Chain A
């Protein structure tokens, strides 16, 4: 079936502008994650949604970052007043509900490359 999709694939924006990044998880997956990956760096956890529970926002780097997930499916990551240090690849992943262990397998989208000029 279809994998995780993200849009846009590339986004160039001017410093100070707001951007919205979209993630469509795999159908039936209850968990959705956002990560950020800077050049040569590991994946930095941003936020996690699980079903109807309150999201885990512990990884958001500042209050300029927010995310929502509508209807338990599509998610949007919003960055307000973008800064140059926000330039990175933003990756979304989803996980199936789970039998023992499987809920930790994450299926990643191709990412959105954000460049702030």
Chain B
């Protein structure tokens, strides 16, 4: 069955460093991969979408890579700030439905 894996352990990093989150998947060939941010008590917020024929996508301090051979996406936040602390979800799609990972909690401390 389709499976999406994100590190369930929280990632703790110091302000100013680059945070790197990983999303691995199996038994799936997504046409699109998305990253969302979720704060406690709120719904997820869309951040970035990358297509299967794209290797990398950037938006401000965010960078996403998509390796369809490794079946992996990496999500980077450069110059991280305490305000970046949240749970980050990856989601895959090749139809109209998204399949979400369980998310990785990022904590950026001063």
The number of chain B residues with a CB under 8 A from chain A is 21
Choose among B4, B32, B99 the residue that contacts A101 (Cβ–Cβ < 8 A). Answer: B32
Q: Is B89 an interface residue (CB 8 A)?
A: yes
Contact (A42, B100) CB under 8 Å given A104-B49, A108-B45 = yes
Q: What number of residue pairs across chains A and B have CB atoms under 8 A from each other?
A: 54
Contacts of B102 in A (CB 8 A): 40-42
User: For the complex, is A48 an interface residue (Cβ under 8 Å from B)?
Assistant: yes
Q: Is B59 an interface residue, CB under 8 A from the partner?
A: no
Known: A42-B89, A101-B51. A107 touches B99 (CB 8 A): no
Min CB distance, B25 to chain A, in Å?
13
B residues within 8 Å of A by Cβ?
4, 32, 34, 41-46, 49, 51, 89, 93, 96-103
